[in-house]
Amino acid sequence: MSERQDLQGRRIVLGLSGGIACYKSAELVRLLTRHGAEVRVAMTPAAESFITAVTLQALSGQPVVTSQWDTREPNNMPHINLGRWAEVILIAPASADFMAQLAQGRSDELLSLLCLARPRETCDLLVAPAMNREMWSHPATQRNAAQLQADGAVLLGPGHGDQACGEFGDGRMLEAAELLDAVIAHFQPKVLKGRRLLITAGPTFEPFDPVRGITNHSSGKMGFAMARAAAEAGAQVTLVAGPVHQPTPPGVQRINVTTAQQMYDAVVPVAAAHDIFVATAAVADWRPANLNEHKIKKEGHKAVPTFELTENPDILAAVAALPQAPYCVGFAAESEQLLTHARAKLARKKLPLIVGNLGPATFGKDDNALLVIDAHTHYPLPADGGSADKLTLARQLMLDIAQRLQDRP
């Protein structure tokens, strides 16, 4: 698939203050531009001790600004012009000293001047802290971080892990890919702000002995895309995931389960406290009635083992039947007659909305083709009847769900 253009046409100023994490900023420029953004770089004198302006100019394709006295600007006011041009100023890395400057409103060089002079109605400030763990945990830094947030800045991170000084803990700058995701999320419309979403994803695994069991081909990719899209839309998201190897989307609370019963126990007691329930998980309909204590072995000429199955609880139906049920969105992965089977599931479980797809054609893949069905109508997603990547589809579904919630009496 081609590179996603989630930032097409977006105007971003990347500001670098002094810190070893400046080496990550080169990759960040590359990622931002590859995803369609126009990036201009501004640097403090301290940042120039860690990375050259030549490197960042080559990667951004734009001149790098390092001084408020830059005579290339016709009016000699780069701190004014860049702030008027940008939709976002991203400070990455943001050192402890630079955060203190911002919190106190001090502006003695180009980058701090730019942050202070930006039009706050049209240009947001994102700050990615980068410092030693002791510096980050110091009360003064915590006060400054709180003040920046109170003033409207958005803090990205910091991360947790190895630090250049040899220590381990909080304070390191997020990786370039994490910052890219955060910037993309920042630009998504916050149509679900204040909403609480509960989402299930992946398969379940129903063991018949300690080694083997019954499962399916679900990769969890669609459910994880739904969780990411919901978080990007401003929702508070809880993701209950079966046994999959997918990274947890930023800002999402994840609960790992294995069996259908475990998923039921994690979902049903808390579902009523949520506004929306999205059931993307491919939950096993049946499980072995008995679990063998030890591995069933093939020895000699013994007869082929047989298994008695019992039905698993229906999680989606149970949530939809709650007295204070959330808005329930089902998923139906079928192998044939998609509309017929999905509409029957919609009626049987008394759902307002169901999303169908031909499971065997999309399990494990990065793209999908969906059919969105309610009691009266249905339409394909994408609208042209083709396919699209699962995150794009998830974002479109979140817009649809948000509109349906708004239109409810």
Which residues are known to be catalytic? Answer: 165
Measured CA distances, 210 to 36, 128, 204, 295, 366 (Å): 49, 45, 15, 6, 32
Instruction: Give the residue from 374, 394, 372, 391 showing the smallest Cα distance to 383.
Output: 372
Q: Give residues with Cβ within 8 angstroms of 243, minimum separation 6.
A: 202, 203, 204, 205, 215, 256, 258
Instruction: Give the residue from 408, 368, 405, 400 showing the smallest Cα distance to 189.
Output: 400
Q: Are 130 and 94 contacting, i.e. CB atoms less than 8 angstroms apart?
A: yes
Q: Give residues with Cβ within 8 angstroms of 211, minimum separation 6.
A: 295
C-alpha neighbours within 13 Å on the C-beta side of residue 284:
25
Burial of residue 36 (number of CB atoms within 10 Å: 0-12, 13-18, 19+): middle
Q: Are 309 and 286 contacting, i.e. CB atoms less than 8 angstroms apart?
A: yes
Give the whole-angstrom CA distance, residue 332 versus residue 343. Answer: 9
Q: Are 278 and 198 contacting, i.e. CB atoms less than 8 angstroms apart?
A: yes
DSSP 304: P
Instruction: Show the tokens assigned to 162.
Output: 């190895």
